[in-house]
């Protein structure tokens, strides 16, 4: 009897979705004929008049369909009147949504041919690396533009509220240097089957006017209180005027002598140390205790990976790692002292299996994973962890749907914003030597504009010695770091990236006597 009621409910819901979709399709001409009420948004706020020198959006309202005119991005599109519009990340995307369906619209300028952009973004899905079911994969022409359609479905995830597990990715090629990408997500295939063609057919390119502006709302609210000790660390190290240095030394804390010897050479005691963990690592209590015995605060990184398993995003959100994550959280709780907890860093790089590149191109699933793990920690009473959110300075692929801000889990879930930008040098073809200010001036300028209310830390960084003057780079880092007032803690990554058995990127700060001396002299100004 219970099963019958369940099936009956599903049938009722499906019928409602079909009726809604049919009504949408049959009322297109009627909606177009109705006089429209006009809403104007300038820089994300409602306004009385358009201003084409600023970020202007106009919504012409109808009984069934609204028409959105996005002037900075140069397009207009019709969408269901019950959808709300989010322009808070206007330089990146515009989002339309109701309770069953969400649409993300990106204007993508290109420095590659359109097929390279489209095929690279879709590759994990079309090759089967992303374990989804492809519904449609075709190319057509709509309104004179070449359009690539890729539809797919993944399993429903039990720990994603109102999970939208059916996708349609539509790339509208308007020139060899410009594509508009629409990503639809819904819980109902019939809704998408009616909605997607309708919206795509209504899409039109218009003249671009004005410029984009972020319209994000800021909050320093935290969803649950920190321990007194964690609050003290936050206030002492992240809200004062002083800056502090930390280090990654791969042997620490299992072996303390190498770091102790380095500190002696540099005449400086690093307060913060970086440690990496994954699903293949032991629980972190022993690591934390060993570091604490040396008077270090750990930047504890958890990357939700396991050797040979690929992306685990779907598995995590299905609860398959709950036991391990709860045990990990309890280990932090049992340690008791403050920890900088960095979860799934550099997520906007496709070298990370937890990047949206490997899970339906859906950055919302990264956010869902972050919030889910955050909630598990909260349930285990972890109030001694300061949560550090940390993209890479360059997104790869450098597409707007993979923009770092699309991964932001929200102010309530982030205590510290992390910055990471390396001078990788020139060992590999295509790499460029980047000066310290070349990396961090634009990065800091953007982050301080987008996150004026959060303290920053450089979670890891360094310079290769291949391709330029590493000593000069280090001198610049120490000379100019104090200009970045929101950056409170900086972590040198004292290691090597290997190309097989060859050192490719040598980031070590004890590489040569000249490098050691440059670091030693620089640290004296931060004691």
Two structure tokens written together for 422:
């390396």
CA 296, distance to chain mean position in Å, is 29
Q: Could you give the angle at the alpha carbon of 243 between the alpha carbons of 239 and 245, nearest 5°?
A: 125
Distance CA 475, CA 477 (A): 5
Distance CA 456, CA 419 (A): 7
Q: Is the distance from CB of 162 to CB of 156 less than 8 angstroms?
A: no
| Catalytic status, residue 346 | yes
Burial class (CB in 10 A: 0-12, 13-18, 19+), 282: exposed
Q: What's the 3-state SS for 295-330? A: CCEEEEEEECCCCCCCCCHHHHHCCCCHHHHHHHHH
Which is the catalytic residue, given 299, 346, 431, 446?
346
Distance CA 363, CA 356 (A): 5
Distance CA 362, CA 237 (A): 35
Neighbours of 123 (CB within 10 A): 14
Residues in the chain: 527
Two structure tokens written together for 158:
């039990």
CA 15, distance to chain mean position in Å, is 36
Which of the 8 DSSP states describes residue 63?
A: S
Q: Tell me the torsion sign for CA atoms 95, 98, 99, 102.
A: negative
- For residue 253, cis peptide bond before it (omega within 30 degrees of 0): yes
Closest CA to 182 of 120, 236, 106: 106
> Rounded to a whole number, what is the distance in angstroms from the first to the last CA of the chain?
72
Distance CA 509, CA 464 (A): 10
Which is the catalytic residue, given 299, 446, 460, 483?
460
Q: Is the distance from CB of 465 to CB of 516 less than 8 angstroms?
A: no
Active site residues: 346, 460
């Amino acid at each position: 009897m219970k099963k019958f009621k369940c099936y009956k409910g599903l049938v009722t819901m499906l019928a409602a979705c079909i009726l809604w979709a049919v009504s949408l399709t049959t009322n297109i001409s009627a909606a177009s004929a109705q006089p429209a009420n006009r809403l104007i948004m300038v820089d994300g706020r409602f306004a009385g008049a358009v201003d084409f020198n600023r970020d202007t959006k106009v919504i012409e309202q109808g009984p069934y369909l609204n028409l959105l005119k996005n002037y900075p991005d140069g397009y207009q599109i019709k969408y269901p009147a019950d959808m709300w519009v989010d322009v808070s990340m206007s330089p990146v995307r515009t989002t339309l949504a109701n309770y069953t369906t969400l649409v993300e619209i990106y204007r993508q300028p290109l420095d590659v041919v359109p097929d390279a952009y489209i095929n690279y973004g879709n590759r994990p899905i079309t090759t089967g690396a992303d374990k989804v079911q492809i519904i449609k994969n075709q190319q057509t022409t709509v309104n004179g533009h070449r359009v690539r359609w890729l539809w797919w479905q993944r399993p429903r995830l039990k720990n994603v509220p109102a999970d939208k597990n059916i996708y349609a990715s539509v790339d509208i090629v308007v020139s060899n240097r410009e594509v508009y990408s629409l990503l639809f997500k819904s819980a109902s295939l019939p809704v998408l089957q009616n909605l997607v063609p309708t919206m795509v057919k209504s899409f039109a390119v218009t003249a671009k006017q004005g410029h984009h502006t972020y319209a994000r709302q800021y909050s320093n609210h935290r969803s649950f209180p920190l321990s007194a000790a964690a609050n003290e660390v936050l206030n002492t190290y992240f809200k004062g005027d002083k800056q502090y240095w930390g280090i990654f030394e791969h042997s620490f804390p299992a072996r303390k002598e190498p770091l102790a010897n380095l500190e002696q050479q540099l005449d400086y005691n690093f307060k913060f140390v970086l440690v990496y963990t994954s699903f293949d690592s032991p629980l972190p209590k022993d690591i934390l205790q060993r570091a604490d015995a040396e008077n270090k605060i750990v930047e504890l990184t958890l990357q939700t990976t396991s050797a040979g398993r690929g992306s685990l995003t779907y598995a995590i959100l299905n609860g398959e790692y709950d036991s391990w994550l709860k045990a990990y959280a309890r280990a932090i709780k049992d340690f008791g002292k403050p920890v900088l907890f960095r979860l799934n860093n550099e997520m906007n790089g496709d070298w990370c299996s937890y990047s949206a590149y490997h899970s339906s191109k859906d950055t919302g699933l990264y956010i869902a994973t972050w919030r889910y793990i955050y909630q598990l920690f909260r349930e285990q009473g972890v109030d001694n962890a300061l949560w550090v959110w940390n993209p890479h300075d360059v997104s790869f692929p450098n597409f707007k749907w993979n923009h770092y801000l699309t991964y932001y889990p929200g102010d309530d879930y982030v205590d510290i914003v992390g910055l990471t930008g390396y001078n990788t040098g020139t060992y590999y073809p295509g790499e460029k030597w980047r000066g310290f200010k070349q990396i961090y001036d634009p990065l800091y300028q953007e982050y301080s504009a987008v996150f004026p209310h959060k303290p920053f830390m450089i979670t890891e960084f360094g310079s290769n010695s291949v391709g330029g003057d590493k000593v000069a780079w280090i001198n610049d880092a120490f000379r100019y770091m104090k200009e970045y007032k929101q950056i409170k803690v900086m972590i040198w990554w004292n290691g090597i990236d290997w190309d097989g058995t060859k050192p490719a990127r040598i980031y070590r700060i004890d590489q040569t006597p000249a490098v050691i001396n440059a670091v030693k002299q620089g640290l004296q100004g931060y004691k």
